[in-house]
Structure 1
Amino acid sequence: MSFLPDHPLLAALPDASEEQRFRTLFDRYFAGLLHLAERIVHCPHEAEEVVLDVFTKVWHQREELVVHGNVPGYLASAVRNRSIDYLRRRNRHRNITADLPIHRPCSAPSPEEQAATKQLQHLIEAAIQELPTRGQQIFRLNRFSGLTYQQIADTHGLSPKTVETHMRRNLIFLRNRLQRYCDLPL
């Protein structure tokens, strides 16, 4: 990657593609950054979203981004800042919803809202169809059937870490694919 020319981990991969070098960086630092985010946001799923957002941003800005020296420090600062931003948004949302009346009547969605929902469902399904077969299976079992990583691992003869890796890759792919349509919490 052009923004990390002297990072020792990536210097050992001079002939690797940008994607392979990024994958190496991701694999090396993801767990530690996830732990950091969990300590701040106190929720594993939200922490994973925060860290994936940081890596997605790094990937999209890889041409312009320049980091000299302390790459883990840069990533940790980015995760810390993103976690704090997340908490601020969550608290703002809680404050707004706390002001809403509890017993307000629910209205049926308008035809426009129904059409938009249906279109979004089609876009999501099309993006899921682009995943590799195993990735599709794991994603559907976790997100649609509600199975845990451990349950999926047990039924498919995989380790829970393998399932976690598949889900992480699936979420990154889907977030990138659907990013232009809206901010989706996957």
Structure 2
Amino acid sequence: MYTERELVEKVAGGNEAAYKELFTRYWDQIYSTALMFTKSPEMSEDMAQEVFARIWIKREKLKEVVRFDAFLFITARNLIFDQLRQKVFTYEYGLYLTEYFKDPALSPCDSIELKEMERIIRQGIHLLTPQQQTAFCLSRFQGLKHEEIAIQMGISKESVKSHIVRAISSLRKYLNDHSDPLAILVWIMLMK
């Protein structure tokens, strides 16, 4: 059995057996982290597999990593937040949240909090100017890059950036004024 450093060095060198051992050694930790955020075993499994796929693809960069456990956690956290951010307010994730909050183990308050959170965030977006709404929604909910948004909206890339920055600032103020902790948590996930 290798030490963590030896294992990481072997994976960085392309050793598939070492990669399998790394996968086995850290799978439960990454899966559990994803499950804590998503509450979905299927989604957590997909995310954990994606984390390990990315590690293999970028294995040569592992030579620069000093603390693999910290690197692994940050990689997982960033992927989880990216995935959740992409799913927030999509039809598919809306269905997931609806099912999640129907869970009999959850209190009726959880369902009310979800509806209130959605209402507050949608109301904040509705208060943005039309240009800010469009740029923000294309960026955050459809995952388009500034260049793509600029083409779609028929404006410059700098204007897109300006609209998004102003939208984020307005929404942050709106959410702070309404001080709903759950809405602010979702907001933080959207903005990462």
Q: Which of the pair is proportionally richer in helix? A: 2
- Does the pair score TM above 0.5? no
TM-score (norm 2): 0.41
Larger Rg: 2
TM-score (norm 1): 0.42
